[in-house]
Amino acid sequence: MPRSICVVGGGIAGAGAAFALPDAVDVTVLESEAIGGRLASRHREGCIYDHGADHLRLAADDRTDLVRRVAGEALVEITAPIHQFDAEGTITDRPDEFTRWSGANGIDEIVWAFLEAADPAIEEGTTVTGLARRDDEWVVSVAGDRRRFDAVVLATPAAATAVLLEAADWEASGRRRLAEVAGDVPHRTVDVVALHYPFAVEVPYYGLVSVERASDVVWVGRQECKPGHVPAGESLLMVQLGALWSAANAGARAQETALEVAHRIAPLVGDDRLREPDWWDHHRWGRGLPAGRPEDSLCDRTLEDALAVAGDWVAGVGQAHAALDSGLTAGRKLAEHFGLESTV
Ligand SMILES: Cc1cc2nc3c(=O)[nH]c(=O)nc-3n(C[C@H](O)[C@H](O)[C@H](O)COP(=O)(O)OP(=O)(O)OC[C@H]3O[C@@H](n4cnc5c(N)ncnc54)[C@H](O)[C@@H]3O)c2cc1C
């Protein structure tokens, strides 16, 4: 029976893996930056805003029951609908069967809820720089230190996974191939701009999504539709820009970006006051969204050596629910590999 398992990466996939591993095993989560990963929140002037994923989208299925059970108290539901807009800026309703959620204190709280339920040791600000397979153990390098574990879950984004696998001191037939596949996963850069206003925007929707994938503005999310995120009488819009826009504006100053976006949003939402936010913020996710996935069989081969991979790129969908599923599956498969019962 394994005594210790290392989960590399503290995004929702890593949290899902830690949650799915049996209670009897010591789990350690090593996260290079902050728990949450691309489920990331910022706090400013009494507002909370999710500057990576805007929400966790759930259908009426088993996963929803699990998320409600684990993160119930931390969840806030976004009940206002999502509408869509076309190239002419015409806004229409959008058929929808999903519920959408953030955390009461920001969307990263959902990741924390899964980790608190799993209760692993957590080390933030800890980057894994190397992996070696030695005598049925994994040696994980961290800032000059070497730690030994019986198994590893790589819940890192595709590029980081590719680097770790490529450099790993580990003789396994699938290692190079999986490193290549991970390294080849195409990603979309996503610029996200927050625009704050000292007045309430009066529209009937939470989010506006573009039907034209190549449009400049692909998403507008009103943070005030998340209970407790924005003081009454104020508005905070999170705007995601498309890949072409990001490529064309790679060198732009953050202030220019924010003001240009405000000028595009005003006619779309139909409120001229939106041209002048009283404060703004900008974040560029260089490898924000993956497209493409490795074959399951390629990932499963690494299980022979007690290593699992997880993440949205493994699921092939840049969505938080898919990353969570991938993490839960990785944890379950690792448990089965050792003949143990997973918690899911
Ligand atoms: C702008 C934007 C908007 C989005 N909107 C939505 C949305 O509305 N709804 C939705 O469902 N999804 C959305 N997504 C996608 C969603 O955020 C991701 O699919 C999901 O968060 C991926 O989770 P993950 O755990 O696979 O990866 P991550 O969240 O990226 O977690 C991986 C973690 O690994 C850590 N790490 C990397 N290398 C190392 C290392 N060597 N050692 C230790 N740790 C390491 C990273 O710091 C990171 O925290 C959006 C994404 C972006 C960028």
Assign residue 207 the CATH number of its domain: 3.90.660.10
Is 90 inside a domain boundary? yes
State whether 243 and 115 are in the same domain.
no
State whether 196 and 252 are in the same domain.
yes
Nearest atom of ligand 1 to the alpha carbon of 190: 1
The CA distance from 62 to 8, in Å, is: 26
State whether 282 and 296 are in the same domain.
no
Digit-by-digit pLDDT tens for the chain (344 residues) are 778 999 999 999 999 999 999 998 999 999 999 999 999 999 999 999 999 999 999 998 878 999 999 999 999 999 999 999 999 999 999 988 899 999 999 999 999 999 999 999 999 999 999 999 999 999 999 988 999 999 999 999 999 999 999 999 999 878 999 999 999 999 889 999 999 999 999 999 999 999 987 679 999 999 999 999 999 999 999 999 998 888 888 888 888 889 999 999 999 999 999 999 999 999 999 888 888 777 877 888 999 999 999 999 999 999 999 999 999 999 999 999 999 999 99
State whether 195 and 257 are in the same domain.
yes
Q: How many domains does the chain have?
A: 2
Is 156 inside a domain boundary? yes
State whether 275 and 138 are in the same domain.
no
Structure tokens at 28: 């350690």
129: CATH: 3.50.50.60
Q: Which residues contact 120 (CB under 8 A, 6 or more apart)?
A: 7, 18, 26, 27, 28, 29
Q: Show the ligand 1 pocket: residues with CB < 6 angstroms.
A: 8-14, 30-33, 37-39, 52-57, 127-128, 155-157, 160, 190, 192, 240, 285, 288-289, 311-312, 318-321, 323
* Domain end among 289, 307, 323: 289
State whether 9 and 117 are in the same domain.
yes
Is 310 inside a domain boundary? yes
Question: Domain of 87?
Answer: 45-101+187-289
Is 117 inside a domain boundary? yes
Please tell me the distance between residue 284's alpha carbon and the centre of ligand 1 in angstroms: 13
State whether 181 and 56 are in the same domain.
no
Structure tokens at 35: 């728990």
State whether 154 and 123 are in the same domain.
yes
Please tell me the distance between residue 20's alpha carbon and the centre of ligand 1 in angstroms: 19
The CA distance from 127 to 65, in Å, is: 33
Is 344 inside a domain boundary? no
**Residue positions counted in the chain:** 344
Write down the pLDDT at residue 299: 84
Shortest CA distance to 145 belongs to which of 133, 128, 162? 128
State whether 117 and 84 are in the same domain.
no
Structure tokens at 152: 């590893």
State whether 126 and 243 are in the same domain.
no
How many other C-beta atoms can be found within 10 angstroms of the C-beta atom of residue 9? 27
